[in-house]
Amino acid sequence: EVQLVQSGAEVKKTGESLKISCKGSGFRFTFYWIGWVRQMPGKGLEWMGIIYPSDSDTKYSPSFEGQVTFSADRSISTAYLHWSSLKASDTAMYYCARLFCTNSSCSYDSWGQGTLVTVSS
Amino acid sequence: SYEVTQPPSVSVSPGQTARITCSGDALPKKYAFWYQQKSGQAPVLVIYEDKKRPSGIPERFSGSTSGTMATLTISGAQVEDEGDYYCFSTDSRGNPVFGGGTKLTVL
pLDDT in tens, B48-94: 999 999 999 999 999 999 999 999 999 999 999 999 999 999 988 88
A7 near A21, Cβ under 8 Å? yes
pLDDT given for residue A103 in this prediction: 83
| CA angle in degrees (0–180, nearest 5) for B26-A100-A82 | 90
Q: How far is CA A82 from the centre of its chain?
A: 9
pLDDT in tens, A62-111: 999 999 999 999 999 999 999 999 999 999 999 999 999 888 888 999 99
Q: B43 to chain A, minimum CA–CA distance in Å?
A: 7
A49 near A103, Cβ under 8 Å? no
Q: Are A108 and B84 an interchain contact pair (Cβ–Cβ within 8 Å)?
A: no
Asked if B37 is an interface residue toward chain A (Cβ–Cβ < 8 A), one would say yes
Which chain B residue has its CA at the smallest distance from A100's CA? B48
pLDDT in tens, A24-37: 999 999 999 999 99
Q: What is the DSSP string of B7-71?
A: -SEEEE-TTS-EEEEEE-TTTTTS--EEEEE-TTS--EEEEBTTTB--TTS-TTEEEEEETTEEE
pLDDT given for residue A77 in this prediction: 97
Q: Are B42 and A109 an interchain contact pair (Cβ–Cβ within 8 Å)?
A: no
